[in-house]
Structure 1
Amino acid sequence: MDKKNSTAQEEVVEKMEQTVEPEASETEAADELVENGPVEEAHETKEESDPVNELEQKLEETTNRLLRVQADYDNFRRRTRLEKEADAKYRSQQLAEELLPALDNFERALMITPEAEETKNLLKGMEMVYRQIKDALNREGIEVIETVGQVFDPHVHQAVMQVETDEYEKNVVVEELQKGYKLKDRVIRPAMVKVNS
């Protein structure tokens, strides 16, 4: 009986040792904990540094995007202001372009020499209307481009003929075939001219 008891006791002790004794992998993890500190803490510090970096990158991206939007908005405002100034400056250009052919016809009509008294009175009335139109255009900044005797300028003159004459120097406008007009600093219609070659 004593042998049975001692063998039973030995079996119980063995079982207890097995349940109490940790496996090798558990002991290795415990040793690592002692040597390196808690594994969770290492992960936490790594996770904490990642969100900080991510937030810094997002802040930098947002700042850059905000600066680009601000620059775009400033450019838009400047462009809009310049367009408004140009619109105000050249607001009468379209009207002038439409009136110029009528002005040309007035000038042609005024070139006739009237013989009858009625025609002379009609011509005087036409001259008054012509002067009023010209004055209105001048008030808007529309001027006639000077031609005869001026050096040929391709920006304001359109040469349709070349002639040779001793009266003028080379590359000088000899005759005006159609008046040219400019609105402030912009050419509405170049003058058609003959140039001395």
Structure 2
Amino acid sequence: MEENTEQQAAEEVVAETAEQAVEGEVVEEQVVAELSEEQQKIAELEQKLAAAQATIDGQKDSVIRAKAEVDNIRRRSAQEVDKAKKFALEKFAGELLVVVDNLERGLENIDKDDESNKAMIEGIELTLQSLLAALDKFGVNVVDPKDQPFNPELHQAMSMQPVEGVDANTVIAVMQKGYELNGRLLRPAMVMVSK
């Protein structure tokens, strides 16, 4: 009987060990299954995180570009407003130049020796000076290039004459003064140039 009991005990141990081995495999399979499910979830979450990061990066780039565009528009608008302020008077000033020319011509052609014309001459000169001062106040400047080198950006050559003792391409006479408005040519000076 003792042999039987020992044999039974051994069989029970073997059976128990076999049972534990089977349970261990099942537990191991469950652990592996749980791990692979968790790894799949982790992989999915990592993919979603990478996609979210890519979206954020794209949106950051879009926001930076939009901000730069807004800054460019703001800068361009400020420049256009500044130009509009500077050159809004261009047509008006151009029309006033005709008045200046007529006043200057009137002064050139009036008989200055006649005493009766003195008051009129003085009135025309004062009117001309106040008109030129008003134009100067708003950025209209005279281009009077007498005895200066010819500059095609500011002068319009009406004729050329050979003159002794004067360098070639020098303005020898101004037929009509030119004017600039805030550095921009409003009307070129009409000049006679030496050959």
Q: TM-score, normalised by structure 2?
A: 0.72
Say which of 138, 146, 164 aligns to 1:140: 138
SS at 2:193 equivalent: strand
Report SS of the residue matched to 2:190: strand
The share of aligned pairs that are identical, in percent, is 30
Q: Deviations over 1:32-81 (max 9, x none)?
A: x6696356545433321221111001100010011111111222222233
Structure 2 residue identity aligned to 1:190:
P
Task: Name the counterpart of 2:56.
Answer: 59
Structure 2, unmatched stretches of 5+, are 1-25
In the TM superposition, residue 195 of structure 1 has moved relative to its aligned partner by 1.0
The one of 170, 173, 177 equivalent to 1:172 is 170
2:46 equivalent to 1:49: yes
Q: Which runs of 5+ in 1 are unaligned?
A: 1-29
- For structure 1, which segment, 51-60 or 141-150, has the greater mean C-alpha deviation from structure 2 after superposition? 141-150
Alignment correspondent of 1:6: none
Query: Does residue 1:110 correspond to 2:130, yes or no?
Result: no
Q: 2:190 aligns with which of 189, 192, 195?
A: 192
TM-score using structure 1 length? 0.71
CA RMSD of superposed structures (Å): 2.7
Instruction: Work out which of the residue numbers 66, 70, 74 in structure 2 matches 1:73.
Output: 70
Which secondary structure state, in structure 2, belongs to the residue aligned with residue 149 of structure 1? coil
Number of positions where the alignment pairs a residue of Structure 1 with one of Structure 2: 166
SS in structure 1 at match of 2:109: coil
> How many Å separate the matches in 1 of 2:138 and 2:59?
49
Q: What is the Cα deviation at residue 86 of structure 1?
A: 3.1
Aligned residue for 1:37, secondary structure, equals helix
Equivalent residue number for residue 86 of structure 1 = 83
